[in-house]
Structure 1
């Protein structure tokens, strides 16, 4: 009641105030919430501006999805109404009003970023329109009860990695080497929490700067080599260090101590998790080998799922590295391979996760709208929660009660300089 009183006060006495205008927009949205065309789906993507390339890739996936369903559902063909947000929250807000009030779409795919999604969430909620955002930002679905998300997240990967290492690989001790960035720190914290939930233990975590190119110090810290003074009881005196090197050169028995430079690493973990991009992985993995950290399972993120990871000469440092992703071009799945073939025939290039997410998001909606007579946004919302048998190219099967994508991630491994499915 107090909130309603303030809303009335602002709209009556300060109609030009931003808060009053927002209240008025929401009021109109509430009135229009029941009016929707079950054949119209809106799209909010950046098709100009700095992210236009990404927006176009997603749109290519959406366009293919519409074409895939034109023939089977000729009488119920879906109309896509595409709006350019230019990656600007204010423009996204203008465009969603058009989609809701003028076009009366029944659902919206997009926006692409968290800032845009947060900027339109209140209007989506007021009009009760399902909105499938493609933003990977953690917690984005909490901004509105009508915001769903179809984008692979750090938490999604962390949970699946924890399950894979503990339950499949029987690994229970992991170290973490992470970048001191928002991405790296957040991923490290989420994985740590999820890994411990499955009974695992984190045996050390060391960070490095975003622009760092040498990793000796954080690696040495993980394995008890830096500072060497922490293992003073194992260190040789200056005299015995000289003797140690002389005897080693002659192949004789060594003194029961080590020169500082020869301390062996203490490897008390079975795997090491590196939540960073493929470029950094190509720098770090050889450094692990250099410091004699061997026989340890390397875990990465979906950012490693690129042929760029394998370029150049890195020896066997990448061999056996594991990571997860929602879309894999070489996946042994009839659904995935059919999508790739159709996409290549239509566009002349192989799709990435962006096109695949667009394709799945729209196909999921069309699957519901084509099988049921739905003319209200509220009814569509119910069906979005209910459907759990979807077979998407990104592993999507449905949405949780928190409106997060439920999917089967694909476990990937580097084997003989190729990225393959683990199982």
Structure 2
């Protein structure tokens, strides 16, 4: 009720311009007493207010007395004195301090609306520096209660500027980061405009650009990046700006040779019933025993999830059946499995196998029995060996095209080096990237190879580098080794994560810096980060699956797979899911024969799958766009 007196306050008492000498002595004496003994100080300040109720220092005494009451855990008495200050001295130089203190008390009781009505009349310019910080905190908390996210961010920014304690600044920064992360796009643009050039405007605009890009709002992304570019940026913010500008450029020019556009460019609803609602039978032929058993198990899990026969409510199970055969990694067993499935009469398509040798053998059998084979191999010529083979795997050529496109067109990298293993995999990738880079106007300026079983990469790295600067002629002068001449701004390493990690560490040891590392899908493994740490920060690579992608299609797949199997899906699981799903889509569209299924498969255009966007031509050759993933602050993050 005390705060309610503010609504109908009495006429202010007249004020004199300054305290008399007697008033000043009485006030100073009461304050000195309060510093020694709070209880006696309360008594003397109360007596002072009785004697000098209309004095210049009455509002000072009222605020001081209220604070003493608060320290004595007597909030009601504190509130009474604050209300009296505002009633008797609403324009006094301590009235605004009283408003802040009173609003804090009322807010602590849970009456945020009344606290706001009290606080909104505070004149911030009349507060002392330490009191102004208190007011900023009050306004930030009240804005949060009122649901005004942009205002809360503004007040937190002011609070940070007024805070001197490093620990307190760190805590406020966490609040600001959480506040920014919780804001929708429209609130971010509003907050950015309100902040002007004050921190954290840069973080706000960068977050707005990120959300706009994820949502396909190019105009807002352009505006947000332009606003961020005007501001003073820290190193992390400058890196984020460059990354977002690269993403914008990639979306403006979604090239990549013959690759389909990124998933974010394509509607993620295929426009047909999901495969799990189809009827019929799909064959799955994989090396479920042998060296590729784990990979095959992942593919099978993905296929089963697409069909709806595993992890679903049996009452809602579909009529789509999956018939599984194990090849053991043997080409003859793969051919026999496809032949047997094709002769059953109910299997209208087969997903698998994996290796080129198995696909070559199974392709002949598929042609014999007239059943389409959705092969998961990466080899480009697989579809040309048999009229029934539809090659669904991601090719190395497509990976090289997309890597080169992002590096040159989005990041502006023009001078490349290639460090590759001297095996079939490394040599093919070296040739493919070289062609892709030069087709985009960039150059390969250094190439070095190493034995596939190498563990020391010092010499291969040295062959990439120019001569070191000369040491001083006088050997008595102790100087550190001069840095090498690094004549390239990007280094392509076509190898698996377990080789890339030590290479990255040895690059650091060789003083190679300022170079962007890039590689193929073999990099996509958590051990790369665990072993290489910051040595791979800023690197990017392709992958057949990106669990960090913002698409709802991928989020749902990850959630369903986790629920069904209790594990995160791998790129192989994503490929199996899409392959089975694409066959199921043909059945859902009404395909009655194996020929109908193949006709539907080779007419596939920009199919949005969890393993990427796929187009299949009339020869049965799939063009799949790989995902691009960047290593950013020790985490793998989508570049889409």
Q: Assess same fold via TM > 0.5.
A: yes
Does the CA-based 8 Å contact 2:330-2:358 persist in structure 1? yes
Shift in Å, 1:55:
2.0
Structure-1 separation of matches of 2:301 and 2:530: 28
Q: Does 1:364 align with 2:598?
A: no
Q: Does 1:198 align with 2:444?
A: no
Point out the structure with max Rg over C-alpha: 2
Runs of 4+ in structure 1 over 6 Å off: 68-71
Shift in Å, 1:290:
2.2
Does the CA-based 8 Å contact 1:38-1:375 persist in structure 2? no
Q: Does 1:375 align with 2:592?
A: yes
Tell me: higher relative CO, structure 1 or 2? Use CA pairs within 8 A at least 6 residues apart: 1
| Root-mean-square deviation (Å) | 2.6
Alpha-carbon distance change, 417 to 121 in structure 1, aligned in 2, over 3 angstroms: same
Shift in Å, 1:218:
1.4
Structure-2 separation of matches of 1:207 and 1:298: 16
Aligned counterpart, 1:26: none
Give the stretch that moved more between structures: 97-106 or 342-351: 97-106
Does the CA-based 8 Å contact 1:44-1:83 persist in structure 2? yes
Structure-2 separation of matches of 1:389 and 1:109: 20
Shift in Å, 1:317:
1.3
Structure-2 separation of matches of 1:315 and 1:67: 39
2:308 counterpart SS class:
helix
2:573 counterpart SS class:
helix
Q: Which has the higher helix share?
A: 2
Structure-2 separation of matches of 1:138 and 1:112: 13
Structure-2 separation of matches of 1:53 and 1:272: 31
Aligned counterpart, 2:629: 412
Question: Normalized against structure 2, the TM-score is what?
Answer: 0.53
Q: Does 1:105 align with 2:347?
A: yes
Structure-2 separation of matches of 1:76 and 1:386: 25
Map 1:344-363; keep pairs closer than 5 Å. Answer: 344-363=562-581
Shift in Å, 1:394:
0.7
Structure-2 separation of matches of 1:47 and 1:287: 38
What is the CA deviation profile of residues 112-145 of structure 1, one whole-angstrom value per residue up to 9, with x for unaligned ones? 2111111121222344422111122343222223
Structure-2 separation of matches of 1:223 and 1:263: 13
Map 1:10-409; keep pairs closer than 5 Å. Answer: 39-67=280-308, 77-225=319-467, 241-243=472-474, 245-246=475-476, 262=481, 264-312=483-531, 314=532, 316-370=534-588, 372-409=589-626
Shift in Å, 1:325:
0.9
Question: Normalized against structure 1, the TM-score is what?
Answer: 0.79
Give the number of equivalent residue pairs: 361
Alpha-carbon distance change, 50 to 66 in structure 1, aligned in 2, over 3 angstroms: same
Alpha-carbon distance change, 400 to 163 in structure 1, aligned in 2, over 3 angstroms: farther
What is the CA deviation profile of residues 397-421 of structure 1, one whole-angstrom value per residue up to 9, with x for unaligned ones? 3323443333332211111111111
Runs of at least 5 residues in structure 1 that lack an aligned partner in the other structure = 1-36, 229-233, 250-260
Structure-2 separation of matches of 1:216 and 1:47: 39
Runs of at least 5 residues in structure 2 that lack an aligned partner in the other structure = 1-277
Q: Which has the higher strand share?
A: 1
Structure-2 separation of matches of 1:421 and 1:86: 35
Shift in Å, 1:333:
1.3
Does the CA-based 8 Å contact 2:392-2:622 persist in structure 1? yes
